[in-house]
């Protein structure tokens, strides 16, 4: 304790003061400071348990940067800091001076409550109710403008920032949103802002059931408002709620129901940690307004996401329909319709780029005999394997393998010369031989074989898809006439 008579006078000054000797770690507080934090003067350990936090970043100030050390190094200090005690947490304007008293030096800090403690702005002590109302309207406008053009990616972080703006404005310790699900039987803490020095609880408050907090659930659903000035005044029916509030060191709590499309979505709430607080009518009104802004934002985002989902589902459905319309039902590769479209397009592009185009016609040798011998099921499986082989050999984006009809297939090779086309044909033959589909009497050494006809043409206005098809078909006919299981080309 201070024994110097002059310093004892500090303890009697009505202004809230913290003070300590230079080169001494013992912090002293006067009676007004004890009262400011709602602490009994008999609790002499109170000043030693104070922690100082940066208002902007929320970071705990190091010993070298707390107000005492700043004042000691500069002679004076004038800063806003968040001061947390085991009882109450306050954002304070701290003004300090270095005072010399005979042979001793003291650092003296004057604390002014920078927050209103009644949901007004930080200048509430100086401003009229009208000024405070206007300040809140400015805050609403700022929050609303920020939430207009948000997207799903930044929704959560932006809502928490706006909760923070409201929390700092109002001087509460925690501000949060809970969402109900499973017909209101469960709830999650989805968004949370906490003041510097306050323990967050969002991650642990997941999957809470109505049975965990039955009194709260009943009140918020029937009265749409849960307002408690002092948790120790809760009725006996709220024993579970009181137990949870004590665990979180909540002294006073205010929650307002949030609705989406006239259905209970959840609630927005705020806490005072470590001390009681008498909530006023405008406290409730302000929180309801913030809740309405958040609920409108969530509703707009929900509608936007629903529209996006419908749009995506429609796009997927259209893609599936397009695939069905352009794909062969048995083999899955392009059908005759897609083949005709792609061939016309490839020729036009070839004319524009002055390119070559190659077309392969492929026929499964003696397929009717294969079907008669092994059955239609085996025939279908064989066609699927042939189609997959052709598709695997189409290595470029513009290449296309298609089922032309029955056991006949085609491969379009844009920008491909005769040598490259013959290489692809040989590759197809090799892969076909590796399949080794048994077929006695086949011209391919008792395995199912194919014949391939190739044509390569210069793209010009005189070249049409029908001319190209006729040339490839003639080459295929020649391959079958010459004994099948072979490749023939025509110019």
Sheet containing 450-458: give its strands across. Answer: 400-405, 408-414, 356-364, 450-458, 487-490
Domain limits, CATH 3.30.450.20, in the chain: 5-113
Per the CB < 8 A criterion, the answer to whether 463 and 457 are in contact is yes
Question: What CA–CA distance (Å, rounded) separates 310 from 108?
Answer: 65
Check whether domain 129-304 has CATH 3.30.450.40, yes or no: yes
According to the model, what pLDDT value does residue 144 have?
61
According to the model, what pLDDT value does residue 148 have?
56
Domain limits, CATH 3.30.70.270, in the chain: 336-490
According to the model, what pLDDT value does residue 239 have?
95
In the residue annotation, 440 being an active-site residue is answered as: no
| Bridge pairing between strands 450-458 and 487-490 | parallel
319 burial type by CB count under 10 A (0-12 exposed, 13-18 middle, 19+ buried): exposed
Domain limits, CATH 3.30.450.40, in the chain: 129-304
* Ordered mean pLDDT values, 10 residues apiece, the chain (491 residues): 54 82 87 84 87 83 86 88 82 87 83 58 44 61 60 71 82 90 90 89 92 94 94 95 93 91 88 86 86 76 64 77 84 93 95 95 95 94 96 92 95 96 96 93 86 96 95 96 94 76
According to the model, what pLDDT value does residue 118 have?
41
- Per CATH, the homologous superfamily of domain 5-113 is PAS domain (3.30.450.20)
> Which residue among 241, 244, 407, 488 is the active-site one?
407
Check whether domain 336-490 has CATH 3.30.70.270, yes or no: yes
406 burial type by CB count under 10 A (0-12 exposed, 13-18 middle, 19+ buried): exposed
Which of 180, 178, 176, 216 lies closest to 200 in space, CA to CA?
176
Give the list of residues 6+ apart from residue 403 with CB closer than 8 angstroms, or none.
328, 330, 331, 333, 334, 335, 336, 383, 387, 409
Q: Using a cut of 0.75, tell me whether the model's pTM lies above it.
A: no
According to the model, what pLDDT value does residue 114 have?
67
């Amino acid at each position: 304790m201070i024994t110097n008579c002059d310093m004892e006078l500090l303890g009697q000054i009505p202004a809230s003061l913290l003070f300590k000797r230079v080169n001494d770690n013992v912090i002293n507080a006067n009676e007004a400071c004890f009262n400011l934090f709602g602490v009994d003067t008999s609790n002499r350990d109170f000043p030693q348990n104070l922690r100082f936090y940066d208002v902007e970043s929320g970071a705990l100030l190091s010993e070298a940067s707390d107000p005492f050390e700043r004042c000691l190094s500069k002679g004076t200090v004038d800063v806003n800091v968040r001061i947390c005690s085991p009882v109450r947490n306050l954002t304070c304007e701290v003004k300090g001076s270095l005072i010399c008293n005979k042979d001793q030096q003291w650092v003296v800090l004057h604390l002014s409550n920078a927050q209103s403690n009644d949901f007004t702005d930080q200048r509430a002590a100086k401003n009229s109710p009208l000024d405070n109302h206007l300040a809140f309207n400015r805050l609403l406008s700022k929050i609303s403008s920020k939430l207009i053009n948000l997207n799903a990616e930044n929704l959560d972080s932006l809502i928490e920032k706006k909760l923070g703006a409201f929390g700092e404005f109002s001087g509460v310790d925690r501000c949060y949103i809970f969402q109900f699900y499973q017909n209101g039987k469960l709830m999650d803490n989805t968004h949370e802002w906490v003041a510097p020095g306050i323990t967050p609880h969002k991650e642990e408050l997941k999957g809470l059931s109505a049975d965990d907090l039955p009194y709260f659930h009943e009140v918020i659903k029937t009265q749409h408002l849960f307002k408690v000035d002092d948790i120790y005044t809760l009725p006996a029916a709220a024993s579970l709620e009181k137990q949870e509030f004590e665990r979180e060191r909540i002294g006073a709590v205010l929650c307002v129901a949030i609705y989406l499309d006239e259905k209970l979505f959840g609630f927005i709430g705020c806490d005072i940690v470590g001390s009681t607080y008498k909530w006023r009518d405008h406290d409730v009104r302000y929180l309801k307004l913030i809740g309405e802004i958040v609920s409108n934002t969530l509703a707009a985002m929900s509608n936007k996401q629903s529209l996006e989902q419908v749009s995506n589902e429609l796009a997927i459905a259209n893609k599936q329909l397009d695939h069905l319309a352009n794909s062969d039902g048995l083999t899955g590769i392009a059908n005759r319709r897609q083949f005709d479209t792609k061939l016309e397009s490839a020729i036009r592009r070839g004319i524009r780029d002055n390119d070559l185009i190659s077309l392969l016609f492929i026929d499964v040798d003696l397929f009717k005999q294969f079907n008669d011998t092994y059955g239609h099921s085996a025939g279908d499986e064989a066609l699927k394997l042939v189609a997959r082989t052709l598709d695997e050999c189409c290595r470029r984006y513009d290449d296309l393998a298609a089922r032309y009809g029955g056991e006949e297939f085609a491969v379009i090779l844009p920008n491909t010369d005769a040598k490259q086309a013959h290489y692809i044909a040989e590759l197809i033959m090799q892969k076909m031989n590796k399949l080794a589909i048994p077929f006695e009497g086949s011209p391919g050494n008792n395995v199912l074989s194919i014949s391939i006809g190739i044509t390569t043409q210069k793209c010009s206005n005189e070249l049409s898809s029908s001319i190209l098809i006729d040339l490839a078909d003639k080459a295929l006919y020649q391959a079958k006439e010459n004994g099948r299981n072979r490749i023939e080309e025509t110019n």
